[in-house]
Structure 1
Amino acid sequence: MNQKLIKNGFILAALMNFSVLIFSRGFTNVAINEADPVVMSNFGLLMIIMWGLAYLSVATVSSNIKWIAGAFALEKLIYGVVWVKWLTENSLEAVYSADIFAGIFYSIYGLNDFLFMIFFAWVFFSYGVKATDNH
């Protein structure tokens, strides 16, 4: 297993989550909040940053990350599904009209989550089942 690739993948995942600070303009971009007040409230955006801190904390761990990677894959799956549901019920054009940063954010956040879901799932399945996983 390529530990450098895994480390860099976790760091990149963290950086992508931290980018919410740019898109939200430091939690002042109300267009993001208004487009999805439940998931993307300022509390929700803060939790995205907290997930980024979790990814960063795992980046330097070289063993026993199978199950945390699995949890991260599920978390990304949930955000990705929520994004697809949001796209089917809302207008990206309206969000772009309200704010370009919010429009870009809503255009890419789910794709980002699906890509990192695949990465985290790959890490999870790459570790295989070990005798220590059975207790």
Structure 2
Amino acid sequence: MNQAKIKNILLAAGAMNIGAVLLFSRFFTNSVINEADPVVMSNFGLVMIVVWGFAYLGAATVNANIKYIAGAFALEKLVYVVVWVHWISTNALAPVYEADLMAGVFFTIYGINDLAFMVLFFMIFKSKFDIKSDR
């Protein structure tokens, strides 16, 4: 995978983490998100998702081989996907939507978004082991 594609993936991941959290949490004032998952999606948890977004943006500026950083990012996304699958399978979305549309949408899509970026980060990680892929 070439450097321009890697940079665009990292920029998109950063923008999604930062932008989605700020939008759906209404700049950390949407208590429905906190109440629906008080451990992972507390305001502290949401701030940490934003911090990961800044880490992705920072990694986008690196022009060296970032295979192990991309691997770490893939693992981080895997954790959120597993947490989301568990949450979706043990909670009902309807009450969240009834309490707040933005919170409902957030819980509907965040795991899918993380799965997509997990795959992309894994592709970056894997591609860096294949010298031909950098051409």
How far apart in 1 are the matches of 2:71 and 2:63? 15
Counterpart AA for 2:14: A
TM-aligned CA deviation for residue 85 of structure 1: 0.2
Paired position in structure 1 for 2:92? 91
Extract unaligned runs of 5+ from structure 1: 131-135
TM-aligned CA deviation for residue 60 of structure 1: 1.6
How far apart in 2 are the matches of 1:6 and 1:65? 9
RMSD: 1.2
How far apart in 1 are the matches of 2:115 and 2:41? 17
- Bigger relative contact order (CA 8 A; separation at least 6): 2
Paired position in structure 2 for 1:32? 33
Paired position in structure 2 for 1:49? 50
Paired position in structure 2 for 1:81? 82
Paired position in structure 1 for 2:126? 125
Counterpart AA for 1:71: A
Paired position in structure 2 for 1:133? none
Q: Find out whether 1:3 has 2:3 as its counterpart.
A: yes
Cα deviation 1:25-68 (Å, max 9, x = unaligned): 01000000000000000000000000000000000212131101
How far apart in 1 are the matches of 2:2 and 2:94? 41
Extract unaligned runs of 5+ from structure 2: none
> Is the partner of 1:9 in helix, strand or coil?
helix
Query: Number of residue pairs matched?
Result: 130
How far apart in 1 are the matches of 2:53 and 2:39? 19
TM-aligned CA deviation for residue 3 of structure 1: 1.2
Deviating 4+ runs (over 6 angstroms): none
TM-score normalised per structure 1: 0.93
Counterpart AA for 2:9: G
Counterpart AA for 1:2: N
